[in-house]
Amino acid sequence: MTRKVLTVLVLVVAGLAAFGGKVLATPSNGFVGTTLATATFDALHVSAHATHPNPWDLFLRTYGQSDVYIQSNTWPVGADTGWHTHPGPSLIILNHGVLTEWESDDGTCTEHVYDATNGPVSFVDTGGPGHAHIIANEGTTVADGYAVQFLPQGATRRIDVTPAPAGCGPSH
């Protein structure tokens, strides 16, 4: 039963991505985010396991309904997302280019550099209260990728953060 639920979830999200097309404008510095698909799911309780010799485990649980978004994101050279947060997690896949992310809640404003020069790179934005971040293209070529976001139903997908954390973020 749980594998069927996971399979249905993957097929629905993939199908929505193929037929989406709604654009979502967000304040930024040259960053362009396009919503490819969105759907609302009832409470999720998905558990999937693999067996030896390739142990793997997935557990996804939500309470109440969730909005799921699939985003296509593009950062021209020098572009950034602006400081913002999301009320839920985002799974991010960088296809091309180099991006730098800063997180306001890590206490050190450490740069996290993601470089897709040799192939796609993935990372997770945990989102949630107090977790603001900015993602910038400080490289020399356009960067692009995708994000899958899980949010409480009806929540604002992106929440701009002002003022920006002092002394933290891109140099431009």
Q: Give 62-97 pLDDT, tens digit per residue.
A: 999 999 999 999 999 999 999 999 999 999 999 999
Is 135 contained in some domain? yes
Is 172 contained in some domain? no
DSSP type of residue 107: S
- pTM for the structure as a whole: 0.79
Q: How far does the chain reach from its first CA to its final CA, in angstroms? A: 51
In this predicted structure, the answer to whether residue 45 has a pLDDT above a threshold of 70 is yes
Is 8 contained in some domain? yes
Is 168 contained in some domain? no
Is 28 contained in some domain? yes
Is 21 contained in some domain? yes
Is 171 contained in some domain? no
Domains held by the chain: number: 1
Domain residues for the domain of 91 are 2-160
Residue whose C-alpha is closest to residue 141's, from 56, 95, 53, 77? 77
Domain of 154: which CATH number? 2.60.120.10
Query: Long-range CB contacts (< 8 A, 24+ apart) of 15-20?
Result: 16/70, 17/70, 20/70
Residue whose C-alpha is closest to residue 124's, from 154, 150, 95? 150
Is 62 contained in some domain? yes
